[in-house]
Amino acid sequence: TYLITVEVKDNGVPSLSTSEVITISVLDANEAPAIDALNAKLRRSVPENSIPGTIVKGGALAAQDPDIQQDIIFSIYDDPLVTLDSKYFNVDGKRGIISVKRNELNYEVKSIYVVYVLCTDSGFPSLQSEVVAITIELSNVNEAPIASFDGAEFSVYENTPVGSNLIMNSLAVYDVDVNDVTFTFTETSNNKMFNVDDNTGRIIVIGDLDYERTNVATLIISTRDSGGLNASGSIVVNILNVNEA
């Protein structure tokens, strides 16, 4: 509020004048809020494979509004023409906490997401802030290997010499984390005929192969990655007959 004294004077003789105090009230106009720029640049992260509702680490969003005592509501700016990343996350409107929306976060596919957010005040008319980019990094999580060899079938002739490789290459194992893997027999009744090389995964003949005694062997093999996770699979080895004198 401002008080101004206004005086008017004529040019008569004698000159006469009068004055009046005028009150000027400045009316409040709603001004747009703004998301805190330093807060928006904070490092935020979440583990891959997180389930919906998992809170993103790094702190809640913050905003300022020149107009006191107004509510501020945060929201995701989900415009596919700007970014496709926003669809994977939610933001709590009142608290500004970002969380996972979809169980589709895969570090090996995409490790950094850029989410766009804005906030809206409760003034009249309601005003929005500028859209701000938030960077979210995925942290890698070790995942169990897959025993791709499970169900495979091989053949070998009886009387094959001890030390021979049943297969020239390693048993097929898939690990998305590209870890080193080791192999072991976990269960077999034929462990006197075959062994598996811990490091290469090759099946090695270690005993006498006699078609007339045993013509099929089932081997159950476990593979473990360097993070301690494992998977198992079985293979079938057919022992082929050889004509003998």
Asked if the model's pLDDT at residue 87 lies above 70, the reply is yes
As a whole number, mean pLDDT of residues 124-136 equals 93
- What pLDDT, on the 0 to 100 scale, is given for residue 146? 92
Query: What is d(CA 103, CA 137) in angstroms, rounded to the nearest whole number?
Result: 15
Provide the pLDDT confidence category of residue 187 given band limits of 50, 70 and 90: low
Asked if the model's pLDDT at residue 99 lies above 90, the reply is yes
Average of per-residue pLDDT values in the chain: 90
Provide the pLDDT confidence category of residue 49 given band limits of 50, 70 and 90: very high
As a whole number, mean pLDDT of residues 16-43 equals 89
Structure tokens that stand for 193 in this block: 């005929």
As a whole number, mean pLDDT of residues 49-59 equals 96
- What pLDDT, on the 0 to 100 scale, is given for residue 191? 66
pTM (2 decimals)? Answer: 0.74
What is the strand order of the sheet 132-139 is part of? Answer: 44-47, 132-139, 112-121, 72-76
As a whole number, mean pLDDT of residues 197-212 equals 90
